[in-house]
Structure 1
């Protein structure tokens, strides 16, 4: 829907003045769905629920300490805790209380490694991690990043990323998170938060909520307000908020509110999203921090649930006056300070936490090397997230005898010389970070605050050269020609291309002519052409995928500093590929429909209506009967697997009730009964090939009144040749529920639920039914 400028002004005014109490998870004044005003309008929810520590004994103990600390502060000190400063050391730092020995909290980017520092690691991107479909690697990734952040004395890591959720196919930041499926995002968020916080660092899950495009994400003087993401209540719960429930369930100590408007109220002053959903319905115990520069008001932000503003920019200087004149209550200020300190104590950062050792890049400083042996993990994740999508006549893996003469082509194969000469390439700003454009060399990460600072980069050319030399072979290469010469004796041609994306802008295309022409030109003269594609998001391949001389294709993602090593492990069969796509690759851009591009709106109050609801990516392809090139969950292996013996067992220690109990307190992550495991489902996976390999078995449920199939489980099992392993799936009450917009709660339905297990969203090998 669209609203007039006067109506938008009225909404803002009402948001500032409304002081509605009585919101509860159990109660609703709505009598039918048409009355629910959560589309284009954001109902006010006040006051902010005070954190109480009821989620666990650990949170309770943290709140006791936090309240004792805050009780000792005067007004100025309390206000100072809510203020974020952007310094030459940390990307953000809260105020301190020196007389009580509290130095404030240091916030650092980011979700794939510390940005802008030396002797730190460049991890694979969140999208690459998701392509592993490996819960253990997700946990190990979070733990390793936290070890480096903690080693530098950082208190809060600005990650993991659960939004954008990948709604906009060309969105500039889709590579930072897992992709467009809420279940997969949620599992990854939960594992990352657990890994991060098991090592004592506060995880700041972001971005809350609906930050799905870069175009007009912030207000500008020339154009007007930021884009408004207009999302209905059901879609909000079942798609965009769903993954954050996992992050909160895992104990996330902080959440970052996003830039854009949500239903015409800025996310960082949206009382419905922060007070109503996050802090009441989902029981969030930690603190909400704004994205950098995302706060657009004072009184409205504080009363809507914002706890820490980053950075200050003068916005927060009148908070003392606001409290003094009653615009913001002293209780709200106390809660803001208490929530921050509760997260600090919850992670036990008061107990011998390392001193801060972050230093400006251009200032001489002691070497603090925090990398440990993380390069090995990065290499493992790099290989595990590499997706093989074509392999004609077992072209791969390469063997010494069939790959003695190797020719390498394409700008993505090597690190371009001038990149080494410019230190700003190491995690600088938004357009001068590593791999900052298509032709600057091999792409290991995307651009912006989610990027990282590699201590080195193992390029594909470097790693392949080492292997070919060890095999007593020879190489020819041409990195920059669009139509290179292929020597007649070449046994295999490796063509490297990429697709870049960054924070601050959305992509204009899912292909590029130069790269597509390069592939076809090489394939014209080489009957064994292998294409390797590093991509920050979906990249189409139609112009050459059916070329008979293109014998193998690899989606190599954004693998981090060990890019070449990880790739060689796959190319030469040291590791059997097991990566699966975490998004759908279409045959043409139009197949993505209205969510292909960011919404372009030149009005003063731009609107982006999420009219597709929950139907994005494979859900939309299934509904529309659209045939993808490569479906969600697809990926080839060097071996083969069969599926058998599906089993569904109902847990006998839980009640399968239609409604959750209403006399149970909400804890962080939502109603605790939503996490009850109702069914255990299993299947036997047999390796019928000749080499060991891991298979990602995927569980899809057909839930009545919902998309025909939705991912609700996955298990990655390693299986030796001619042996079998059991894939296990635990199905919770939430997994089987839909959101009731009238009752404002999750509900089960008395119906038949279809159960499918397979190798992808369209390769479903086993089928059964759950009857409720």
Structure 2
């Protein structure tokens, strides 16, 4: 059956006021998504505390049994924080529950002092280093804990990056679900090993910022949040995939998203929460709203929502106890909500008397006198530095322009080179133009006013023009103890080796005499992105003009881009004087130090692109622009994900589009060769069509069993020690030409070899069978590729199942 868009919109209207789904308690979890409809799945599963949750659930059940109805209810929604926490659950002092502090963000503790600013998500993705991802997460977790935070609001795997101009793509690690999932799993383990819960977000389909929340347009019309309309197969093979990794790693919390999913609000979507998350993935933790993403009371509770933030009194609160007393919501649902929350508290050891007081290091106002809690650990300094180093990606290096060879005079150009002159870069302060304050509101008003047309955005809005860009903007940002800007670090290097650095950081460089005199001209530009607004485009005229102006005279022009997402370079990349290009991403507090060490060869580049860089905007097709609300659905914006799983390199492969730089690409100061591909079926592996195991965290347990093993030998054929990211791609019959299914980063000395091995699971080889509602392992031949990027795959073989 096909539901018309008109019926879907009507259903969305009803859902938005909490009038659908609550009365239908039929479990139809086997039903699938199709555009515009999200089938009801009721009742909400009651968690049993399986696996390593058993002990925590036993304690939680005993705890909840002692609670009054009001105390249970008070666990499920936040109250207005009186400290610097983003959200607060109040204490239950008579039972020794001190309460909970929820706090941003994905690259360090936000809205406080004496914490570190780690490399952002996109930078971690560009490192392709799972060990580093864990170490970074563990160091962040320790800082969250010292500040009295119970739930760190990250990591991000949604948005996945379907939209190349997505404002929050930088918070995630990659638009490939395998890479994103692997890094999310390591991040969950790292933070939670420190005793802090992760909040894996935003679940699910949150792929654009425009219309992310309901609002009012310029004519005072109510406009709903965007509906991401995703079919069942695409949901499983793309957008749900990295969430499954995070659940498998044990995340205690999932944050539901602002958008609607097939015309049902994600935080009240029973198919998503009850069906996909709590039933299919066996999620044992609790679900919290994104801030102010709750739009119904009874309906949201029945659909599987467990906690509302930051203040749930408008829909739940004291009056919501009536819903349990009159039977609208069974008390067993409330018990499950409270038990899930308390079980997570026990599982992370947060009941310990030694756990810091909630929000103790989160002062409400940093400008007022407050107790200083220094959360930093000297042992994490190497992690901060290496994290900054490894996310830089060298993509062009003509005539061995890099590393620099004892230059006497360096000329530095571009607005991105110096430190910001006015504010410590905490993200929002980098906004220059109309969005310095109230940026989301301003953007939404502009967007709604032009909702039926393509907006001609000024190119200034694409850059952070008042200093170097080390972290993106919005709730994902934080401030470190210092910022090493590129220009500062270059001057320190000049002081050390007796060289000279001159600079011109104006938008229009005027010191033409420097171009010819310098041994090298370094041009620093950036690509800005923020929560609350999608990027206006993938390049800007101001920045391109700086590069072209310098390159017109300077024969050794080296470009560095601090980019919060894909950035086009074809306007100047083929200029014969542009000798090198580095995508420097968002390195955090050690930005300049790490970059200078790479420029001078004290460190060797090893990053790889976690996305593709096309030659033109048109190469991205519908992956470039966000969806607008157009008649006849202007007040219920729709975004049909009609491309299915074909985003980024999958789309380029399918449509035979040659990117400028492909997914997984990155250069080094050395070279590597690949040989000795070996492929084998794991002895005793069960290769039946469908998994048969019990559901545990992440899905049926045998989905994670190894089916095959692939190995290869990598040799350093150059003259310096370097690290290579060996990548495994598999062609699943009937699917994309190739999909990433493994990667390993190895450090190798000149002339030496290293063997890399990839474990291939049942899940890695399966496709989602919509009819069977299971992952299907097909019989047949699978193409196996191993190499240095998605289009440099010298080793090719086959695997027969």
Query: Where on the TM-score scale, by shorter chain, does this alignment land: which range?
Result: over 0.9
Displacement of 1:19 in angstroms is: 2.7
Which position in structure 1 is the counterpart of 2:54?
A: 60
Deviations, residues 637-665 of structure 1 (Å, cap 9, x unaligned): 1000000000112211321221211xx42
Which position in structure 1 is the counterpart of 2:745?
A: 716
CA distance in 2, matches of 1:426, 1:727: 42
Displacement of 1:432 in angstroms is: 5.9
1:248 aligns with 2:247: yes
SS at match of 1:115: coil
Q: Aligned runs of 1:269-348 on 2, under 5 Å?
A: 269-312=268-311, 314-317=314-317, 318-348=319-349
The 1:656/1:637 distance shift into structure 2, 3 A limit, reads same
SS at match of 1:440: coil
Which position in structure 2 is the counterpart of 1:193?
A: 188
Which position in structure 2 is the counterpart of 1:92?
A: 87
Q: Is 81-90 or 521-530 further displaced after alignment?
A: 81-90
CA distance in 2, matches of 1:584, 1:481: 28
Displacement of 1:376 in angstroms is: 2.6
SS at match of 2:300: helix
CA distance in 1, matches of 2:435, 2:168: 12
Displacement of 1:545 in angstroms is: 0.2
CA distance in 2, matches of 1:740, 1:18: 30
Displacement of 1:23 in angstroms is: 4.5
The 1:282/1:420 distance shift into structure 2, 3 A limit, reads closer
CA distance in 2, matches of 1:433, 1:149: 27
Deviations, residues 446-496 of structure 1 (Å, cap 9, x unaligned): 110111112110000111111122111111111114133242321110000
Deviations, residues 349-406 of structure 1 (Å, cap 9, x unaligned): 1122122322122221121111112333121111111000000011000121xx1100
Which position in structure 2 is the counterpart of 1:414?
A: 418
1:608 aligns with 2:639: yes
Q: Aligned runs of 1:98-117 on 2, under 5 Å?
A: 98-117=93-112
Residue 394 of structure 2: which of 370, 388, 391 is its match? 388
The 1:448/1:586 distance shift into structure 2, 3 A limit, reads same
Displacement of 1:679 in angstroms is: 1.1
1:566 aligns with 2:562: no
Displacement of 1:762 in angstroms is: 0.4
The 1:701/1:364 distance shift into structure 2, 3 A limit, reads same
Displacement of 1:311 in angstroms is: 1.4
CA distance in 2, matches of 1:569, 1:441: 20
CA distance in 1, matches of 2:238, 2:611: 15
CA distance in 2, matches of 1:642, 1:15: 59
Which position in structure 1 is the counterpart of 2:451?
A: none
Task: Tell me if structure 1 keeps the 8 A contact 2:428–2:474.
Answer: no
CA distance in 2, matches of 1:41, 1:287: 25
Displacement of 1:11 in angstroms is: 6.4
Task: Tell me if structure 1 keeps the 8 A contact 2:462–2:539.
Answer: no
Residue 41 of structure 1: which of 27, 37, 41 is its match? 37
1:15 aligns with 2:20: yes
CA distance in 2, matches of 1:280, 1:427: 42
SS at match of 1:84: coil
The 1:653/1:770 distance shift into structure 2, 3 A limit, reads same
SS at match of 2:223: coil
Displacement of 1:680 in angstroms is: 1.4
Displacement of 1:37 in angstroms is: 4.5
Deviations, residues 21-79 of structure 1 (Å, cap 9, x unaligned): 4456xxx4x7xxxxx4532100000000011111x1x3000000000000000011000
Q: Is 202-211 or 97-106 further displaced after alignment?
A: 97-106
The 1:372/1:608 distance shift into structure 2, 3 A limit, reads same
Size of the alignment, in residue pairs?
757
Displacement of 1:433 in angstroms is: 12
1:364 aligns with 2:366: no
Q: TM-score normalized by structure 1?
A: 0.95
Task: Tell me if structure 2 keeps the 8 A contact 1:120–1:455.
Answer: yes
Q: Is 491-500 or 593-602 further displaced after alignment?
A: 593-602
CA distance in 1, matches of 2:463, 2:549: 22
RMSD: 2.0
The 1:422/1:291 distance shift into structure 2, 3 A limit, reads closer
Q: Is 217-226 or 431-440 further displaced after alignment?
A: 431-440
CA distance in 1, matches of 2:19, 2:38: 10
1:592 aligns with 2:620: yes
Runs of 4+ in 1 over 3 A off after TM superposition: 4-15, 20-24, 420-437
SS at match of 1:375: helix
Task: Tell me if structure 1 keeps the 8 A contact 2:670–2:718.
Answer: yes
The 1:609/1:481 distance shift into structure 2, 3 A limit, reads closer
Displacement of 1:20 in angstroms is: 3.2
SS at match of 1:42: coil
Displacement of 1:759 in angstroms is: 0.5
Task: Tell me if structure 1 keeps the 8 A contact 2:426–2:477.
Answer: no
1:2 aligns with 2:5: yes
Displacement of 1:18 in angstroms is: 4.1
Deviations, residues 269-313 of structure 1 (Å, cap 9, x unaligned): 000000001000000000000000000000010000000000125
SS at match of 1:379: helix
Which position in structure 1 is the counterpart of 2:226?
A: 227
Q: Aligned runs of 1:121-140 on 2, under 5 Å?
A: 121-140=116-135
The 1:8/1:288 distance shift into structure 2, 3 A limit, reads closer
1:161 aligns with 2:141: no
CA distance in 2, matches of 1:460, 1:696: 26
Task: Tell me if structure 2 keeps the 8 A contact 1:482–1:518.
Answer: yes
1:181 aligns with 2:176: yes
Which position in structure 2 is the counterpart of 1:465?
A: 491
CA distance in 1, matches of 2:708, 2:98: 48
CA distance in 1, matches of 2:223, 2:507: 44
Deviations, residues 525-570 of structure 1 (Å, cap 9, x unaligned): 2100100000110000011100100100000000001100110111
The 1:430/1:146 distance shift into structure 2, 3 A limit, reads farther
Deviations, residues 659-706 of structure 1 (Å, cap 9, x unaligned): 211xx4211110000000111111000000000000000000000011
The 1:7/1:148 distance shift into structure 2, 3 A limit, reads closer
SS at match of 1:15: coil
Task: Tell me if structure 2 keeps the 8 A contact 1:498–1:533.
Answer: yes
Task: Tell me if structure 2 keeps the 8 A contact 1:427–1:433.
Answer: no
Displacement of 1:321 in angstroms is: 1.1
Which position in structure 1 is the counterpart of 2:734?
A: 705
CA distance in 2, matches of 1:646, 1:652: 18
Which position in structure 1 is the counterpart of 2:408?
A: 404
Q: TM-score normalized by structure 2?
A: 0.92
Deviations, residues 95-123 of structure 1 (Å, cap 9, x unaligned): 32111111211100011111110000111
1:355 aligns with 2:350: no
Task: Tell me if structure 1 keeps the 8 A contact 2:426–2:471.
Answer: no
CA distance in 1, matches of 2:493, 2:687: 57
- Structure 1: gaps spanning 5 or more residues: 31-35
1:651 aligns with 2:653: no
CA distance in 2, matches of 1:612, 1:476: 49
Task: Tell me if structure 1 keeps the 8 A contact 2:669–2:722.
Answer: yes
CA distance in 2, matches of 1:574, 1:378: 17
Residue 79 of structure 1: which of 55, 73, 77 is its match? 73
CA distance in 1, matches of 2:485, 2:59: 49
CA distance in 2, matches of 1:10, 1:94: 30
CA distance in 2, matches of 1:753, 1:728: 18
Task: Tell me if structure 1 keeps the 8 A contact 2:192–2:348.
Answer: yes
1:438 aligns with 2:439: no
